[in-house]
Amino acid sequence: MSQENRGGKISLSDLRDQHKSESQQTQPRINTQNNNNNRNSSNNQYSSNTQNRPNNYNNSQPVINARLQEIMKGIKEKGYCESGSNILRKDLLSNEANQIVEQLSKISDTKKRLTTTQLRSFFGEVKKLSFKYEGNKMNEEINSRMVVDLLILKSKVEYKKDKISPEFRFFMNENLDIVINEGTIESYNNFVILFEVIIGLLYGKGQIDNK
């Protein structure tokens, strides 16, 4: 249904399509050790120059380690819940959550380690939306509003990109993308639970700076 037929309103499918198009334009680069081995000699100089660029080169496409991308790809394919049910996958909250934390802990730039203040801020934003939509019945209007709020939340993650690690930025954006694409309150609540587990594991492993 066109926007004119809807009285100028933007539908949930419109928001998803727009977000999908924007996300495809800013896919992160994978950081692997041997990703240039098969390039021919004519590209050697270009490859060398690319590898010598600082990590903050082109912040819209951060360098992300391949393992974290692999983990998130698996979560996207399997989803948050067991197949055919609304029950969260046990592996998501155990093995996969621990693997995510392991990758989030591999931060070479100590200045971008997560702090208590930053984590409290991000989690506060996440919980604020959870409370906002708590008890709402699913319908296209409610879900469309939620997607808009999630896109705003993604913009807040981007605003902090110079103060957080590329790995944490990637984790947040990938999970918000999952919820935006599914477009349901249930999916958002599942993300909130995963985020709570990740926070607990990060604190437990001493990966949060107390400041």
pLDDT tens for residues 33-71?
444 444 444 444 444 444 444 444 344 556 778 999 999
Paired tokens of 139: 């319908």
Q: What is the pLDDT of residues 137-149, one digit of tens each?
A: 778 888 889 999 9
Q: How far, in Å, CA of 109 to CA of 38, rounded?
A: 30
Better-scored residue on pLDDT, 141 or 151: 151
Paired tokens of 170: 């990637």
Q: How far, in Å, CA of 9 to CA of 48, rounded?
A: 49
Q: What is the pLDDT of residues 118-139, one digit of tens each?
A: 899 999 999 999 999 888 777 8
Residue 194 in contact with residue 200, Cβ under 8 Å? no
Q: What is the pLDDT of residue 22?
A: 59
Average pLDDT taken over every residue of the chain: 79
The amino acid occupying position 34 is: N
Q: What is the pLDDT of residue 141?
A: 85
Q: What is the pLDDT of residue 169?
A: 93
Q: What is the pLDDT of residue 180?
A: 93
- Helix runs in 10-112, H state only: 12-25, 44-51, 66-78, 90-91, 97-104
Better-scored residue on pLDDT, 7 or 3: 7
pLDDT grade, residue 106 (50/70/90)?
confident
